[in-house]
Amino acid sequence: MKMMWMQLFAKKGETMGIKKFINNVVDFLDLDKFSVEGKKKSIKKLLVKLEKREERLKKIISKEHDKKAKKRLKEELAIAQHQIKKAKKHLVKLSK
């Protein structure tokens, strides 16, 4: 009985982690109209958008001359890369 409760809480915590991750990425990308259809589908869509954002940031950084702006953009790029890594981990978990 105790083991079953532990499994339920683990799954519940995992689900909340994915939902929280989706909400954080939506906020990071400033998406107004993003509907959460299914966890896997939502993460795939967000992953595509994050990868586009990463490419765009790399292009902007290469053209930027101001040091402060470049530093801010590099921080934003680091956040995007971290979220891409987390999205891929969540997709692997959901694929099992």
The rounded distance, in Å, linking the Cα atoms of 32 and 16 is 21
Average pLDDT score over residue span 87-91: 92
Per-residue pLDDT at 13: 47
* DSSP symbols for 31-95: -SS-----HHHHHHHHHHHHHHHHHHHHHHHHH---HHHHHHHHHHHHHHHHHHHHHHHHHHHHH
Summarised one tens digit per residue, pLDDT across range 60-85 is 999 989 999 999 999 999 999 999 99
Average pLDDT, the chain: 82
What's the pTM? 0.75
**What is the four-CA torsion angle of 30, 85, 16, 74, rounded to 10 degrees?**
-40
